[in-house]
Structure 1
Amino acid sequence: MEREAGYIKRAKDLDVYRHAYGVSLDVHKATLVFPKNNTRWLTKCGDPARRSVPIWLKDLPNRPIPGPICAFISMAMGSCSEVETWISYAFDLGYITHAQRDEWLQSYVHIYGMLVNLRKKLK
């Protein structure tokens, strides 16, 4: 992680960003093939799942440490929890397999933990 005068220079250099980006890309690709007739699903689940954690983390550069940056990390943690709920919906509706659900949930639990640790380090 690059820091310059109390700022994170590049969010994409954070391990948590790279991990979250990869998982959210997988989720995004999967939601593209969900049934088109279920527009409520696409609005309620597909969009939040697609824009989840990396969206909050991309805003970290040029944020003072620790102040506002911890708020962005907290928002990313909330996004993790939201996506976990939508992953469960996707499984219960038969859109993803049991294995896919377990893999994604495990990934988001890991991302959440990484965010908790990052926030602790920055406080």
Structure 2
Amino acid sequence: MGDIKSHKDLLVYQKALDFVVAIYKETEVFPESEKFGLIVQLRRAAVSIPSNIAEGAARQGIKEYIHFLYIALGSLSEIETQLEIAYRLRFITDIDNLSKEYLHIKRMLLKLITTLKNKQ
């Protein structure tokens, strides 16, 4: 993991922040009726990803860090489901780019978890 001094140096954290922005932009066009439904669920789950990466990095040990990375992974899975629902409801017409980003972040999280497990 080289010259990583904080969670802010992790590419997965930076990608997760970009993903939050993409989710916020995508949900801006959702119907008003979803203001307290899918919009808030998608946004909260998206914000949870970089937040849990940061919280895990601030914890005492590797075991705790991994635990928070799994929580971030869970939030990512929530987003996958919620995007599929939004797509089926035709709130979004193209989920390909978001799906690519989702999969990229998922692979990065799994790689970081594996790396940390190997350090235990």
* Alignment correspondent of 2:116: 122
Does the CA-based 8 Å contact 1:52-1:83 persist in structure 2?
A: no
User: In structure 1, how many angstroms separate the alpha carbons of the residues matched to 2:71 and 2:85?
Assistant: 21
* Alignment correspondent of 1:60: 56
Q: Map 1:1-123 onto structure 2 (within 5 A).
A: 9-38=5-34, 39-43=36-40, 45-98=41-94, 101-123=95-117
Using the aligned pairs only, state the percent identity: 34
User: In structure 2, how many angstroms separate the alpha carbons of the residues matched to 1:68 and 1:19?
Assistant: 22
Give the alignment's TM-score, normalised by structure 2: 0.82
- Across the aligned residues of Structure 1 and Structure 2, the Cα RMSD in angstroms comes to 2.1
In structure 2, the gaps of 5 or more residues are none
DSSP 3-state at the match of 1:77: helix
- The list of structure 1 runs, each at least 4 consecutive aligned residues, that deviate by more than 4 angstroms after superposition, is none
Does the CA-based 8 Å contact 1:9-1:62 persist in structure 2?
A: no
In structure 1, the gaps of 5 or more residues are none
Give the alignment's TM-score, normalised by structure 1: 0.81
